[in-house]
Amino acid sequence: MSHVSLKCTACGNLHDSSMDTIQCPDCGEPVDVRYGPNHQTGDHTWAGVPIPMPYHQTGQSVTLGEGNTPVVAVNWVAGEVGIQNVDAKLEYMNPTGSFKDRGTAVMMSVAKELGVTEVVEDSSGNAGASVSAYAGRAGIIAHVFAPANAPEAKLQQIKVYGAQTHSIEGPREATTQAAIDYYQQRGLVYASHNLSPYFLEGTKTFAYELAASPAGVPDHVIIPVGNGALFIGAWKGFQELLAAGRIDKTPKMHAIQADGVMPVAAAFAGKPWTLEDSRPTIAGGISVATPPRKQQVLDILSASRGQSIAVDDTSIVWWQKAMASKEGIYCEPTSAAAFAGLQILAEHGHISREDRALVAVTGFGLKDAPPA
Ligand SMILES: Cc1ncc(COP(=O)(O)O)c(C=O)c1O
Ligand SMILES: [Zn+2]
């Protein structure tokens, strides 16, 4: 993969593209894919537009038809929050029911091309289900580590796609540590959706689809953020499109967190926040107390002039129920958090009445416990 290298997000050093380089060997920070001058974008297109991808041949890619998710107007939401145009991009219509499939498809395509036969992943549920499905399809053995208290439907989904599941007691961080110990002891590949630079190459397709849509790029994109895979990937896509002259503006990117686990929102507000400040939240997908790509998320908030908002569980449940009963959109609590965040953004005047806002509905409601 000579056309691709991995660039450290902190020190800027370049490294060879490899599934074994999940953090910069020089400083330990996450790495991103960088395309060399000889890169041929012509091989890959998305939404009719050339897109740089880290694997070579389209025919080798591991796909289940992910992406190209519908965008629907949510007029009841628009009235409720006082904005004229609000759209929802239904990411739960991806093959395993969450946006993670965008990232997994590319990560697994690279793994297959590099001859990887066995991977380790840790997940609160959705990424685990996605990796389990795509690994099985690619003929790759997957070990998925998940918290013992993850929603039953997600644990079942991970199992039924065929991954070897490892259930870990304790906080979410204990699951990550168990996965790291496991891959290091056995010399396996760590296909972490939080760290893999290839995963972000998949989530960037979100931006390509918006750019190609008749309405074009919205003024605001609202995303529930744990580690920021969709948030960072979407921004990367917008930057590529801008550099290629295919769009002339980028949206404000807003990162929504739960107030029980809000490292990004706190840092954005300039307030101290540590692991000890964590409280339980029903938004399990964004319950990430120490996101390794936090600085990247903060940099994007600043570059796009977006906001980071923390919302409480009461408002998350309210929005989850309201989205189902008023809009026919049954999303999981993590995804409902984005609508609770939209309401606050509008209330605080960060989104004006005439602006067009788009909310990513990241995961399907049946994956989680029903709202109380
Ligand atoms: C439904 C859903 N939405 C949003 C997120 C947040 O994704 P990220 O941690 O990449 O920001 C997750 C992560 O698990 C999720 O499952
Ligand atoms: Zn570095």
Q: Is the minimum distance from the CB of 368 to ligand 1 under 6 angstroms?
A: no
Give yes or no for residue 230 CB within 6 A of ligand 1.
yes
Q: Which two tokens stand for residue 213?
A: 């849509």
- What per-residue confidence (pLDDT) applies to 40? 63
**Would you say the CB of residue 278 lies under 6 angstroms from ligand 1?**
no
**Cα–ligand 1 centroid distance for 2 (angstroms):** 31
Q: What does the pLDDT read at residue 58?
A: 61
Residue 265 has pLDDT above 60, yes or no: yes
Question: Which residue in the block uniquely carries the two structure tokens 């692991």?
Answer: 275
Average pLDDT estimate for 348-363: 98
Q: What angle do CA 241, 221, 105 make, to 5 degrees?
A: 60
Tell me which ligand sits closest to the C-alpha of residue 255.
Answer: 1
pLDDT in tens, 214-261: 999 999 999 999 999 999 999 999 999 999 999 999 999 999 999 999
Are 281 and 334 a contacting pair, CB within 8 Å?
Answer: no
Q: Which of 113, 116, 133, 126 is nearest to 191 (CA)?
A: 116
Q: Is the CB of 224 under 6 A from ligand 1?
A: yes
Task: Report yes or no: 136 and 142 within 8 Å, Cβ to Cβ.
Answer: yes
> In 304-337, which positions are buried (b, 16+ CB within 10 angstroms) versus exposed (e)?
bebbbbbbebebbbbbbebbbeebebbbbbbbbb
286: Cβ below 6 Å to ligand 1? Answer: yes
**CA 12–ligand 2 middle distance (angstroms):** 6
Residues contacting residue 257 through CB under 8 Å, at least 6 positions apart:
224, 225, 226, 263, 264, 265, 286, 308, 309, 310, 311, 337
Whole-model pTM? 0.97
pLDDT at 59: 59
Q: Check if the beta carbon of residue 24 is closer than 8 Å to that of residue 79.
A: no
On the question of pLDDT at 146 being above 70, the answer is yes
Q: 31 - beta bridge partners?
A: 8
Q: Which atom of ligand 1 is nearest to the CA of 224?
A: 4
The model's pLDDT over 111-122, given as tens digits with 9 standing for 90+, comes to 999 999 999 999
Q: Which residue has the tokens 């002339």?
A: 248
Q: Is the pLDDT of residue 343 over 70?
A: yes
Pocket-testing residue among 286, 311, 335, 367, ligand 1, by greatest number of atoms within 8 A of Cβ: 286
Residue 55's pLDDT is 87
Q: Are 52 and 106 in contact (CB under 8 A)?
A: no
Mean pLDDT of all residues in 63-74: 97
- Distance from residue 131's CA to the centre of ligand 2 (Å): 27
Q: Which residue segments constitute the domains of the chain, with CATH numbers given? A: 71-98+199-367 (3.40.50.1100), 100-197 (3.40.50.1100)
How many percent of the chain have pLDDT more than 90?
Answer: 91
User: How much is the average pLDDT of 198-209?
Assistant: 98
Ligand 1 pocket, mutate which of 93, 99, 264, 301 (most atoms under 8 A from CB): 99
β partners of residue 358: 87, 221
* Count of other CB atoms within 10 angstroms of residue 169: 10
Counting DSSP H helices and E strands in the chain, the numbers are: 12, 15
Give the confidence band of 41 by pLDDT, cuts at 50, 70, 90: low
Does residue 309's CB lie within 6 angstroms of at least one atom of ligand 1? Answer: no
- Of ligand 1's listed atoms, the one at least distance from the Cα of 193 is 10
In this prediction, residue 60 carries a pLDDT of 62
What is the CA angle 94-97-99, rounded to 5?
Answer: 60
Model pLDDT for residues 150-181, shown as the tens digit of each residue: 889 999 999 999 999 999 998 888 999 999 99
d(C-alpha 79, C-alpha 85), whole Å: 9
Instruction: Give every CB contact of residue 62 below 8 A, 6+ residues apart in sequence.
Output: 105, 108, 109, 112, 134, 137, 138
